[in-house]
Amino acid sequence: MFSKAVLDHFRNPRNAGELPGATATVEVTNPICGDILKLFARFESGRIVEARFLCRGCTTAIACASLLTEQLRGCTPAEARAITADFLSSALGGLPPATFHGAQLAADAVTALIPRLSPGR
């Protein structure tokens, strides 16, 4: 049911854990399934230089959060906006409709994160 990419990110999550010195932290939830994603980012010189996550959720939610942190590194806020649920799903080999909510949770975290990256927050 899951692609090799999904299973790899689930079994070997990248950038899992809290991020000391994060300049922005957001938490998003899916009230229907109960998944929770906490995303941490460090923003310097107009770019996201580091991103980490904590996730309590299904296989797909964890895999998408892992991939998301990899994709965010080096991004400007404008570039981060291009990280959508469809993009994450595609990058993981295409998620079945029943598990697409994991990609949507990660995309919701990006949407919540971007306004917090502005200077002075």
> Going residue by residue through the chain (121 aa), what tens digit of pLDDT does each one get?
899 999 999 999 999 999 999 999 999 999 888 999 999 999 999 999 999 999 999 999 999 999 999 999 999 999 999 999 999 999 999 999 999 999 999 999 999 999 998 665 4
Question: What's residue 6's pLDDT?
Answer: 96
Question: What's residue 48's pLDDT?
Answer: 97
∠ CA 102-62-109, rounded to 5°:
60
In sequence order, the β-bridge partners of residue 55 are 37
Region of 46 (left: φ > 0; alpha: ψ -120 to 50; beta: rest) is left
DSSP 13: -
Distance of CA 32 to the CA centre of its chain: 19
Question: What's residue 98's pLDDT?
Answer: 93
Question: What's residue 119's pLDDT?
Answer: 60
Question: What's residue 49's pLDDT?
Answer: 97
What CATH topology corresponds to 4-117? Sufe protein. Chain: A (3.90.1010)
How is the beta sheet containing 24-29 ordered, strand by strand? 24-29, 36-44, 47-56
Question: What's residue 31's pLDDT?
Answer: 86
Question: What's residue 45's pLDDT?
Answer: 94
Question: What's residue 40's pLDDT?
Answer: 98
